[in-house]
């Protein structure tokens, strides 16, 4: 009789865990309180940013942050009332950006990205999703020679990790993306950066595949997870109890309370992000463009042109402030003259973020049969398949090398 695993959360991370656990012979049940992939996995920028190995917690971000926060609709926002809640997280973020810790986190992130890229290729092949991948790279853009020069240490660090890139100007820049505003003096092209056709469609297709392979879905909100005998018991909001041999907690930004019940204090918070999806054809966009100085990207999807990013602290309950999405759209119109900005759909999502810019993937304190898979911040789609592979390894008793640095216990 195959063993049964319950996965809490049917976002892209839970779905990728389902894919890998089915391949190992587990009976899989997803428990989801909303729709499949309607959390952060719904409206993200769709990037498979395997080359994005530098943790956000970095000296560079700390230098930019004060300037960014002066603009009330800028790339980084922190409502004063949320400051007391987020202060311990910010303190950890600052510590994680110190040179030694930043170097260590870069090595861990690079290892995880190598695994994530391999696992994603294998997953899309096996789930029949290959035609949803776009292998057209990313173009990062600079508005001044000073901004370009300031990016040099980051590119040197990526070079040490074996990341391919090309600095471009003039005709080459215009060839990679015609129609850019002349304010951009240079760019950096990362050819191995990929995107999906649309993150929600990609996740739904993965869900269809795991369902065809036997995964079940229960609608309901998990209120408690606890070890029971040789297995695990989950309690849902309506009082239903589910018992299983193992459990994966993949509830994205909402994972902290359940981890706490399992004895782990994890400093998970959310970096809220905004975007607008314009109708297809709003611009002749050749690939994803990153406006690093402004904290947002523009991505061509099968469902339209998505403009957005930014980080807003503010927790899970404050209403969205879509003026942030409007502000990014106005900037995009200046950067891409001719961009048609009418007819857009706005969205806000909750990135599940840990202060050291690495996810938590590993066993809970309460039981090795409850595995955490949350906290992927800006990179959950990118690292979803890699996370699924690590989770399947851990539940099979294997110890993947990268997992040691991703344990919940690293926060003390």
Ligand X SMILES: Cc1cc2nc3c(=O)[nH]c(=O)nc-3n(C[C@H](O)[C@H](O)[C@H](O)COP(=O)(O)OP(=O)(O)OC[C@H]3O[C@@H](n4cnc5c(N)ncnc54)[C@H](O)[C@@H]3O)c2cc1C
CB 102 within 8 A of CB 157: no
Q: How far is the CB of 127 from ligand X (least distance, A)?
A: 16
Indicate if the alpha-carbon torsion angle 347, 352, 358, 360 is positive or negative.
negative
For residue 42, how many C-alpha atoms fall within 13 Å in the half-sphere facing its CB?
A: 18
Nearest to 21 by CA among 13, 100, 336: 13
- In residues, how long is the chain? 412
Instruction: Please report where in the chains the tokens 């800006």 appear, as a residue.
Output: 378
Q: How far is the CB of 371 from ligand X (least distance, A)?
A: 13
- Supply 245's token pair: 């041999």
d(CA 275, CA 261): 34
Please, which residues have CB within 8 angstroms of residue 70's CB and are 6 or more apart in sequence? Answer: none
Query: 3-class SS at 200?
Result: helix
For residue 250, how many C-alpha atoms fall within 13 Å in the half-sphere facing its CB?
A: 34
Minimum CB distance to ligand X smaller for 177 or for 299 = 299
Q: Are β-strands 222-228 and 345-353 bridged in parallel, bridged antiparallel, or unpaired?
A: unpaired
Q: How far is the CB of 217 from ligand X (least distance, A)?
A: 11
Q: How far is the CB of 146 from ligand X (least distance, A)?
A: 27
Minimum CB distance to ligand X smaller for 10 or for 168 = 10
Q: How far is the CB of 377 from ligand X (least distance, A)?
A: 6
Q: How far is the CB of 11 from ligand X (least distance, A)?
A: 2
Minimum CB distance to ligand X smaller for 188 or for 195 = 195
d(CA 102, CA 376): 17
Rg value, the chain, Cα: 21
If 0-12 CB within 10 Å is exposed, 13-18 middle and 19+ buried, where does residue 315 land?
middle
CB atoms within 10 A of CB 135: 11
Q: What is the dihedral of CA 277, 41, 302, 285, to 10 degrees?
A: 60
CB 267 within 8 A of CB 411: yes
- Backbone phi and psi for residue 350, each to the nearest 5 degrees, phi listed first: -105, 100
Minimum CB distance to ligand X smaller for 9 or for 148 = 9
d(CA 220, CA 215): 16
DSSP string, 107-124: HHHHHHHHHHHHHHHHHH
CB 375 within 8 A of CB 383: no
Q: What are the distances in angstroms from CA 45 to CA 5, 167, 170, 297?
A: 30, 23, 27, 8
Minimum CB distance to ligand X smaller for 13 or for 61 = 13
Minimum CB distance to ligand X smaller for 123 or for 222 = 222
Minimum CB distance to ligand X smaller for 148 or for 344 = 344
Minimum CB distance to ligand X smaller for 41 or for 188 = 41
Minimum CB distance to ligand X smaller for 148 or for 390 = 390
Q: Are β-strands 231-236 and 241-244 bridged in parallel, bridged antiparallel, or unpaired?
A: antiparallel
Q: How far is the CB of 412 from ligand X (least distance, A)?
A: 23
Q: How far is the CB of 51 from ligand X (least distance, A)?
A: 12
Minimum CB distance to ligand X smaller for 74 or for 148 = 74
Q: How far is the CB of 149 from ligand X (least distance, A)?
A: 27
Minimum CB distance to ligand X smaller for 206 or for 395 = 206
Q: How far is the CB of 203 from ligand X (least distance, A)?
A: 8
Binding site for ligand X (CB under 6 A): 8-14, 31-34, 38-41, 44-47, 49, 221-222, 250-254, 273, 275, 308-309, 349, 351-352, 374, 376-382
Q: How far is the CB of 210 from ligand X (least distance, A)?
A: 13
């Amino acid at each position: 009789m195959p063993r049964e695993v319950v996965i809490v959360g049917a976002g892209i991370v839970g779905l990728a865990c389902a894919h890998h656990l089915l391949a190992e012979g587990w009976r899989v049940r997803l428990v989801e309180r909303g729709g499949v992939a309607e959390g952060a996995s719904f409206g993200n920028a769709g990037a498979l940013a395997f080359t994005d190995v530098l943790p956000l917690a970095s000296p560079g971000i700390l230098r930019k942050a004060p300037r960014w926060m002066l603009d009330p609709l800028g790339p980084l926002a922190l409502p004063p009332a949320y400051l007391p809640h987020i202060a311990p997280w910010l303190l950890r973020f600052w510590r994680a950006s110190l040179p030694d810790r930043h170097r260590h986190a870069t090595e861990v992130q690079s290892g995880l990205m190598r695994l994530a890229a391999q696992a994603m290729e294998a997953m899309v092949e096996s789930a029949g999703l290959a035609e949803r991948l776009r292998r057209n790279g990313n173009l990062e853009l600079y508005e001044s020679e000073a901004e370009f020069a300031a990016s040099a240490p980051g590119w040197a660090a990526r070079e040490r990790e074996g990341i391919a890139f090309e600095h471009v100007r003039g005709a080459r820049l215009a060839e990679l993306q015609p129609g850019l505003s002349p304010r951009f003096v240079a760019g950096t092209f990362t050819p191995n950066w990929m995107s999906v056709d649309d993150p929600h469609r990609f996740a739904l297709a993965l869900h269809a595949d795991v369902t065809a392979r036997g995964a079940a879905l229960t609608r309901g909100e998990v209120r408690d997870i606890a070890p029971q005998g040789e297995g695990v018991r989950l309690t849902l909001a309506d009082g239903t109890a589910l018992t299983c041999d193992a459990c994966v907690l993949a509830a994205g930004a909402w994972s902290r309370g359940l981890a706490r019940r399992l004895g782990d204090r994890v400093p998970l918070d959310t970096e809220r992000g905004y975007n607008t999806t314009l109708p297809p054809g709003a611009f002749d966009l050749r690939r994803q463009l990153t406006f690093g100085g402004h904290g947002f990207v523009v991505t061509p999807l099968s469902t339209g042109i998505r403009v957005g990013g930014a980080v807003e602290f503010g927790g899970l309950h404050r209403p969205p402030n879509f003026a942030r999405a409007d502000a990014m759209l106005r900037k995009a119109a200046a950067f891409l003259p001719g961009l048609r900005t009418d007819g857009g759909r706005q969205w806000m999502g909750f990135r599940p973020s840990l202060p050291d810019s690495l996810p938590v993937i590993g066993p809970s304190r309460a039981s090795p049969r409850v595995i955490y898979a949350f906290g992927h911040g800006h990179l959950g789609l990118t690292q979803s398949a890699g996370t699924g592979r690590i989770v399947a390894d851990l539940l099979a008793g294997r110890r993947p090398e990268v997992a040691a640095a991703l344990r919940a216990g690293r926060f003390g």
